[in-house]
Structure 1
């Protein structure tokens, strides 16, 4: 099989490529240049798109004896990931740029070009598994290492994309074994620290970075009843569940901390309240996709049992869900967790599971708090 190995410059992608070579595939390595100004990206080990990472990817391919190329995807990355990130915050939502990168860059733009060039599959160092389902179709499953499992950020993959994905690290019990294998293979990235944070924000200061790209203007901070309790420097810089940075002068009547309950960018208003008002008992998800075959209930609108995860490496809770039609006639998901959840924000991704299988994902549009809903209906 002709395989294109996506080489981030990290240990996971290097070992994944090595295993693909060892399995007898015809492997070509490619590193994605996601910025035309790499100096603006993180340096050292914190990012995954720097000049140092490109050099590490090249050295890994040299060691494996496979061709290496760098592809410039900076324009598409800027449009589909960075600009989307800014637009979502400007609309008062909390996006996950890694989800967008996987969806629109690594498994859309990259895979499309790979197939055009005659490759059969794209190989990455993600910790997830593609397995045949009972109907013979392919399914996405959690990896063997729960601590490193990345099936959540791959929940955007469709059945057609799964057919061209290769995840050689799926059954590896731990990251330590991957590092040990890299050392045995003589790969220089064996001890390289993991990348983390948002690669296109140089210093990790998301609020400061957004302030340069969004017109932030002062506005009111109000409580759940609409009473003004303070002032903010820009509503779009806040996210649901946030506690720090509110700078409210007077304490709450009960003396307890306040948290961001809602961001209203059109009104330039931030709504705050007690922790209990963050409890969410119903979620509406838009633009849902199925990772493999859709469940039969998707056609009937019946409830189906599942498990819900709404942030990478976050908690997993039992839930039930159903697929309905939105106002435009497209699909949407209604999800009810078995217990109230906190920190759920519009813009996040809700990924549904059944056992180890990833059913699919949707972008959270609304998250209802029963107490606030009861108050608005009164």
Structure 2
């Protein structure tokens, strides 16, 4: 007998039809999270289609054993689909990934900024290109294993931080648009990681004990300069290390080898005096690495571009709004005020923070004690 659902009854993904008639494309990286996501939906009776992206050449690309979307990961994703019983496809996105993520990563460092390639990957390859593929496959929605929650609000779907604060990935998903959020689903957002692994073991998935990815997928052992040197050979230009008054203290190999807040590896020796020096800022145009005392890292004003707003109303209407922000994925949201001055978006922190670097993200949250709702965010261009 065919299962029917009334027009007033929604399934767990929010559609007024049986699970078996609801097609879900699941983005499968080969890790435990996306594998459990796909297996759970299939077990609930949904019409699941798994898709894994080949993001770089298996043999020639720079990769590590703990990366995602490498050869072993594609094999693991395929094994999960075979065990559970749903179709699985591998799509070659090497060119898209190189142009949208890897080259942007290298060029951002060469400009004296510090990139976040995982955000760029979500913003372009996964939530733009793959989402279009899901629609072409006739999917009602696309699901991922991200730890974040999609909550139906009075004005449509909202993005909320994950139940497991230690695994929350809202910082990396600040660029998710209203249109994307309408099509996306995050079945693991209400779980903690231990529960996810327990479910993987219960379902007999081959990835149940697979370690989490630790490094950027195309950066082996965290050596990002190896990637830049390979993609942009001979691009690094030596220059001066100077103090905040412009006094030359030493020489450097290239601004790409330094990040804001860095203390070790400056090679200044006795020129530093008694107080330790930190990289305060980078000037790629002048080829300078500017250093100063720890207090010189304090910033309370952040300027942003490419701002995405998924809060109530419009971004312009949010001028002067009290919000919470994260300038690092590992920090709790901190109090701030959002300002829009002739189109320029500025965040004023309630308390100065250290080591805020251009190229990084500033994610916005609702100004409540729990700061659960994600309001969007932008890319840091400069600080003051």
SS in 1 for 2:228: helix
Check whether the contact 2:64–2:218 (CA below 8 A) recurs between aligned residues.
no
Residue 207 of structure 2 is matched in structure 1 by 189
Report deviation, 1:211.
3.2
SS in 1 for 2:325: strand
Normalised to the residue count of structure 1, the TM-score between the two structures is 0.91
Cα displacement string for residues 259-282 of structure 1 (whole angstroms, at most 9, x for unaligned residues): 111111111111000010000010
SS in 2 for 1:211: helix
- Aligned equivalents of 1:148, 1:105: Cα separation in 2: 22
Q: CA RMSD in A?
A: 1.5
Structure 1: tracts of 5 or more residues without a match:
327-331, 369-378
- Aligned equivalents of 2:342, 2:223: Cα separation in 1: 39
- Aligned equivalents of 2:172, 2:144: Cα separation in 1: 13
Residue 181 of structure 2 is matched in structure 1 by 162
* Count of residues in correspondence between the two structures: 357
Normalised to the residue count of structure 2, the TM-score between the two structures is 0.90
Check whether the contact 1:38–1:49 (CA below 8 A) recurs between aligned residues.
no
Check whether the contact 1:223–1:272 (CA below 8 A) recurs between aligned residues.
yes
Residue 110 of structure 1 is matched in structure 2 by 130
Select which of 78, 86, 111 maps to 1:66.
86
Structure 1 residue ranges, 4+ long, deviating more than 3 angstroms after superposition: 293-296
Alignment of 1:37-116 (within 5 A): 37-44=58-65, 46-116=66-136
Report deviation, 1:209.
2.9
- Aligned equivalents of 1:325, 1:115: Cα separation in 2: 37
Select which of 335, 342, 353 maps to 1:325.
342
Report deviation, 1:251.
4.1
Structure 2: tracts of 5 or more residues without a match:
1-21
> Is 1:352–2:364 an aligned residue pair?
yes
- Aligned equivalents of 1:289, 1:43: Cα separation in 2: 32
- Aligned equivalents of 1:47, 1:182: Cα separation in 2: 19
Check whether the contact 1:281–1:340 (CA below 8 A) recurs between aligned residues.
yes
Select which of 45, 49, 66 maps to 1:28.
49
Residue 371 of structure 1 is matched in structure 2 by none
Select which of 275, 290, 293 maps to 1:274.
293
- Aligned equivalents of 2:218, 2:135: Cα separation in 1: 28
- Aligned equivalents of 2:85, 2:199: Cα separation in 1: 17
Select which of 285, 288, 301 maps to 2:307.
288
